[in-house]
């Protein structure tokens, strides 16, 4: 679980800009055998009027490849959210270790080193904008078997079965996204 927390926290800093770069995504519920999920891919037009495949598989003759990841089952079923950043001194100690974040001689009460305090402030600022990059990486990591779904919820059969239990504020996606 510590690795999962570290991965999520690191991604918060490395990857920001949740509301950009996802234009044209949609999910199709029409069924046929043309994709690994058994669902027909949906299409949309890009800015140049070209038809593009937005979900599911796309034709290999168009140079497309599919991992088999299906948003409906392999993605999260709840919306991205924003709120106060929720990392604190204890989170920093868990992620990086007391000796790497606490000033020498600070005793039981950890006084963060200046660099650790700066990282914490920056991470919490990024978290206040949403957690979308973490959603993408974690859902793909669960799909790839890097993490076991049972680590998060022993009853979930697919990622979409996971439920968000916080009172955080949902982030409305920009127009054109799903």
Is residue 27's pLDDT more than 70? no
Is residue 88's pLDDT more than 80? yes
The pTM of this model reads: 0.45
> 2-14 vs 114-127: helix axis angle to the nearest 10?
80
The per-type count for the chain, helices as H runs and strands as E runs, is: 6, 4
What is the rounded (10 degree) CA torsion for 75, 81, 87, 93?
0
pLDDT at 147: 87
pLDDT at 58: 67
Which distant-in-sequence residues (6+ apart) come within 8 Å of 178 by Cβ? 25, 26, 27
Question: Which residues make beta-bridge pairs with 44?
Answer: 52
């Amino acid at each position: 679980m510590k690795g999962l927390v570290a991965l999520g926290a690191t991604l918060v800093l490395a990857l920001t800009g949740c509301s950009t770069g996802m234009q044209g995504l949609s999910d199709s519920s029409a069924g046929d055998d043309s994709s690994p999920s058994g669902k027909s891919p949906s299409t949309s037009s890009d800015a140049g009027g070209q038809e593009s495949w937005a979900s599911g598989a796309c034709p290999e003759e168009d140079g497309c490849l599919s991992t088999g990841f299906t948003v409906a089952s392999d993605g999260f079923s709840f919306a991205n959210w924003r709120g106060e950043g929720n990392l604190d001194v204890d989170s920093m100690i868990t992620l990086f270790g007391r000796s790497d974040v606490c000033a020498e001689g600070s005793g039981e009460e950890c006084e963060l080193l200046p660099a650790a305090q700066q990282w914490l402030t920056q991470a919490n600022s990024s978290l206040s904008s949403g957690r979308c990059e973490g959603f993408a990486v974690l859902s793909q990591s669960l799909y790839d078997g890097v993490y076991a779904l049972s680590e998060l919820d022993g009853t979930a059969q697919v990622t979409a079965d996971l439920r968000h239990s916080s009172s955080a504020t949902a982030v409305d996606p920009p127009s054109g996204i799903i």
